[in-house]
A and B are shown apart, each in its own frame.
Chain A
């Protein structure tokens, strides 16, 4: 595809000119970048020549964006809509009845073990000025409902985790397609020259389907999600294995020898890009651990997120949410959070719904609410799109006696932040929360809406591969107008 092919000529400064001007050599250039300002945004504006040309260089959007970054809160396993945000009193009324009689014809389920209609084990209350119903599973998020737009009528095309995950992440129920974060990077580039444009904060659970949920598929590898692990060194090979001085001396040698070779061959775009990458990589060694170092955050902030929560999963997810905010501050385009390990299963309660959902909810509730509040008070919420979403929902009737099976026919997702009309709810499900009654959406529509808020027309973001122009939304997708501010 040759994304690097023309960079050399388009670059306002050639590498050679750059280095001539910065006589201190490689380490000097990179270090100057690092020390040029407190915030990374300033750094970009002060050292534009190096980074504006690569595949991750910022690109113009199709129209004015409402949000600059996405935080995608992926709820692995499929949280139950009727136990969280889609309150259905009729489940109480028909509790224990045969769902074939109460609800009517049932679709096939993954495990085909159909129990009785099952009321939610949790109480629902109304919150905020909007009066949104939220169950006791989410007492903290409940405090933020006036900043949230719920979509009660999301649907998936697949009832099984792996395909549904690929569908949610790539718009196709198969392996090997570019993830939505990769599409965003391809469409918009990155605002930060020291960090990847698409970061996955791994809470501990890689979703079924594996890392291909975050891959670049046929898009160039530059757009693939970088998996940030927990701990001080979140990225593979980002930690030098030698002293800073030694590395700098080595890279200075490499730089001078590379330059001699480039001179000898008469200049070459690919070679020059490869040299440039060393500068970015060098900065990443500093920027990534700096990002992960939260020692400078106030105690109030740490408490808000729940960093010291006695529940380990909550503390883990709190840290991820805080890192998400720090990534947003640094201009990273797409941030996805995966769920922490909670001891039992992820949100996939085929049995023992009560304990399983409670365990999962307690891990994410406080950190998510803190993320919304924290972004809001700094004004960043206005330019950040938060999406809360599983790959499908769960059946209103039991699987066995106390679980719920997968339900792709209707489930709740929510969005908050830039361009989102808070305190709203879109779509209605039937009286059991089983299927869509009115205003049906699917994952393509979610993708179209997310792209729209980022300033991209989903029908115009295409990539030619294997003889056709591919889109994240394939030939589908319409905006979920009701959530737009």
Chain B
């Protein structure tokens, strides 16, 4: 691990990525206890104020502080992204590891299931879910989570299959260990780094998807601020307050860029030969 950190200190991409993600996470954490102004205070007299000393990024069409809303919006993005990726990872890793351990018809079934999910982009999935169950952050999480399942299932299956061909796994099998024990003791620990890298990249994709869904009104509902919805509202005031359309987008771009750079950096540091899946 000390080797990892000494290499990490010289990897520019990793450092930039980690810093960007660190800043956004810090903003989200701080906003739990403190924001420059209450994020949902309506002050119509102060609406569409340009940035100044006390309103660093100005106010929106309802006189709410944009900076405070962006900080709280970071909480929404990170929460939705984290839970969605965890759902996708838990189910996907189980399916992928199971398919690799048992092969045969089960493997075929998991592959077909993956193909099916891949045919539905996250937005279509979300549309299906929200049109029946209504728009909410929970349903957005569910949609993004379901979309993440095949990504993790494929990556896990591919990496686990390689492990199953290795001598130490064969030896464990010859010793009479069952597929579950081998998977838990030998296969999964050896594919963990690949999964961590993939999770970072999927986190970035999930944040983009959440922004898209909340832009369409299918994500977190008011009064909870979300970056995507802030952009939707800003569009009405493009002529009067163009800044409103810039800050939330910049927040999304910084977070996603940070996570992507962090993911690429982790991949380089763990194993430069790893290949990632990028699907959105």
Instruction: Decide whether A and B are members of one complex.
Output: no
A-side residues, CB < 8 A to B, are none
B-side residues, CB < 8 A to A, are none
